Structure formats: structure tokens, C-alpha cells
């Protein structure tokens, strides 16, 4: 959680945060935890607390348990986004995608493209590729080169790079995050506009999906589909559906302390 003025955001730079719990947690325990957080932010003269939660596919059986304590504590859902994910199964990637994407996958394969893990790739090369692709699309990259390097150094087993290569040239790349033992998050993904006719991202996602199968990862999180202005992007959402994506919800909660009187520390 980070402070910006008198507004606290959890998390400020990552896609999601919020409370996480085990199946054995009780509603009253989560209400107590959120009450403690609320009291502490008030004691720091906080005016507002914003919490971006994980997609519901992460904890399907716990989603209601995680939602209700926010409401009881006084949080209000201020944003509901459609989040896409692929449920990893024994079926191969090719069998799950739409016919048009199968044709593009074959086209890339017949052209000699190769996809897979690229753990040894330098952070500067990764960043330059992502930044170049996103600039051409009018998008900004959400982290700096220094932040990328720090994340990869501190969590080498969590931040994984996959690429699609046309000979010695990178034509598509994604930075993924091992969110937990069950979930791999497709964090930053880009491809070269010049190769868009081959749709190399389909081959890229096949490589990521196959990695999930090998590592017994159950969920490949494709994230929300937004444009450079933060608005829903139908074409991106449609592409995710075409490669086997399913929909779930991702909520953001807010609590405004401006008109609230600080209370005593909550008791369990």
C-alpha cells in the first residue's frame, strides 16, 4: 500500500492486491483485518483508500468470502472490469482456439517462427522491445527499465520471459508473473506491428500455455482489456476469447474517509 497525497492505494503500480485468505478463514476475521487497516489509514490522516483486488478466477470458491467483508467494513465497489483467463487443462492449445487463430498459428509455424522461454534475455533488450512496440501503438509502458531489472533480479523464478523469434529477430514478447502456485499472469505482452499479419501473439500464447501445462499451473491470467485511455477495448477482449479466454470479474473498492469520524481500534 502506498500513499499519494492523502489517498492510499493498494497496490499503486501492480495490477492487483487486496486481501487474500485460505479456505479456513472466517468472515469475521477478514472484517477485523479490514477494520484494522481502515483505522490505521484514518490515523495517518488518510482521506481515501483504494483497493484493486485480484480477478475472481484466482479464488473461485473464496470470491464471496473476499467480497462481503469489504462491504461490511464500508468499502464501495467503484469499478468492475472483465478479466480474461484460460483454464489450463489436458487439452492442447490448438484444440481450444478459434479456426482463424489456428490458421495464423500454422502460418507463423510454416514461416519458421519459434517460440519459448527466453530467460537469458537482458532486461535492456526486453524493455527496448516492449517500449518500441507500445510507442508504435500509442501506449505507455507501466514500469521503468530499473524496476524491470530489480524485479528480475529479486524474483528470478517469478518473472518469466517468453518470445517468438523470426530467425534472430524478436517479433513478439511477453513478461509473465507467477502470481502463486496456481496462476501465471500475462503481465506485459507486445508484438511487432510489421509482423501483425502472422499474429505471432497466438504462437506466443501457445508457448506460455504449454509451459503452464508442464508446471501444473491451472490458470493463465490474460488480464483486463483496456486501451491507452483506460477504456474497454473490444478488439483485444475478442482476441482473448478467440484463443480460449473466459471471463471473470475484477473489482476495485474505495473508502472515502472525508465524512467519517475516526473510530476506536476494532475488536475481534
Same domain, residue pair 117 and 185:
yes
Residue 31, in any domain of the structure = yes
Mean pLDDT on 219-228: 94
Find the domain containing 25 and state its range. Answer: 2-81+250-256
Q: How confident is the model at residue 1 (pLDDT cuts 50, 70, 90)?
A: low
How many domains, in total, are found in the chain? 2
Q: Is residue 135 part of a domain?
A: yes
The pLDDT tens digits for 134-155 are 998 888 888 999 999 999 999 9
pLDDT of residue 79: 92
Residues 67 and 125 in one domain: no
Confidence of residue 3 (pLDDT cuts 50, 70, 90): low
- Average pLDDT score over residue span 218-237: 93
Same domain, 8 and 108: no
Per-residue pLDDT band for 11 (boundaries 50, 70, 90) equals: confident
- Tell me, what's the pLDDT at 260? 62
**More confident call, 151 vs 16:** 151
Q: Are residues 58 and 22 in the same domain?
A: yes
pLDDT of the residue at 31: 93
- Whether 179 maps to a domain, the answer reads yes
Say if 267 falls within a structural domain: no
| pTM across the whole model | 0.90
Q: Are residues 97 and 73 in the same domain?
A: no
Position 246 confidence tier, pLDDT thresholds 50, 70, 90: very high
Those residues whose C-beta lies under 8 Å from the C-beta of residue 268, and which sit 6 or more positions away, are: 28, 29, 32
Whether 243 and 96 have beta carbons less than 8 Å apart is answered as yes
Same domain, 119 and 66: no
Kindly report, residue by residue over 76-129, the tens digit of the pLDDT.
999 999 999 999 999 999 999 999 999 999 999 999 999 999 999 999 999 999
Based on the domain organization, do 145 and 179 belong to the same domain? yes
Are 188 and 115 within one domain? yes
Answer yes or no: do 75 and 98 share one domain.
no
| Cell of residue 96, nine digits | 481450444
Q: What is the pLDDT of residues 24-57, one digit of tens each?
A: 888 999 999 999 999 999 888 889 999 999 999 9
- Tell me what pLDDT residue 267 has: 53
**22 in the same domain as 99:** no
pLDDT of 266 reads 54
Does the pLDDT at position 73 exceed 70? yes
Amino acid at each position: 500500500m502506498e500513499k499519494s497525497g492523502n489517498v492510499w492505494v493498494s497496490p499503486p503500480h501492480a495490477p492487483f492486491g487486496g486481501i487474500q485468505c485460505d479456505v479456513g478463514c472466517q468472515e469475521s476475521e477478514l472484517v477485523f483485518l479490514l477494520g484494522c487497516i481502515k483505522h490505521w489509514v484514518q490515523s495517518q490522516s488518510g482521506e481515501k483508500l483504494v483497493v484493486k483486488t485480484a480477478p475472481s478466477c484466482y479464488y473461485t470458491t473464496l470470491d464471496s468470502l473476499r467480497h462481503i467483508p469489504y462491504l461490511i467494513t464500508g468499502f464501495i465497489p467503484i469499478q468492475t472490469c472483465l478479466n480474461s483467463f484460460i483454464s489450463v487443462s489436458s487439452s492442447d492449445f490448438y484444440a481450444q482456439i478459434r479456426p482463424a487463430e489456428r490458421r495464423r498459428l500454422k502460418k507463423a509455424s510454416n514461416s519458421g517462427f519459434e517460440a519459448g522461454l527466453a530467460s537469458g534475455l537482458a532486461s535492456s533488450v526486453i524493455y527496448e522491445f516492449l517500449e518500441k512496440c507500445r510507442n508504435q501503438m500509442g501506449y505507455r509502458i507501466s514500469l521503468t527499465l530499473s524496476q524491470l531489472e530489480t524485479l528480475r533480479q529479486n524474483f528470478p523464478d517469478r518473472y518469466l520471459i517468453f518470445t517468438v523469434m523470426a530467425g534472430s529477430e524478436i517479433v513478439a514478447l511477453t513478461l509473465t508473473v507467477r502470481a502463486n502456485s496456481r496462476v501465471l499472469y500475462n503481465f506485459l505482452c507486445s508484438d511487432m506491428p510489421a509482423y501483425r499479419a502472422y499474429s505471432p501473439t497466438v504462437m506466443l500464447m501457445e508457448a506460455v500455455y504449454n509451459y503452464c501445462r508442464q508446471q501444473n499451473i491451472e490458470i493463465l491470467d490474460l488480464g483486463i482489456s483496456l486501451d491507452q485511455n483506460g477504456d474497454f477495448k473490444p478488439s483485444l477482449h475478442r482476441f482473448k476469447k478467440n484463443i480460449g479466454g473466459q471471463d471473470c470479474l475484477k473489482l476495485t473498492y474505495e473508502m472515502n474517509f472525508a465524512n467519517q469520524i475516526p473510530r476506536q481500534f476494532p475488536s475481534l
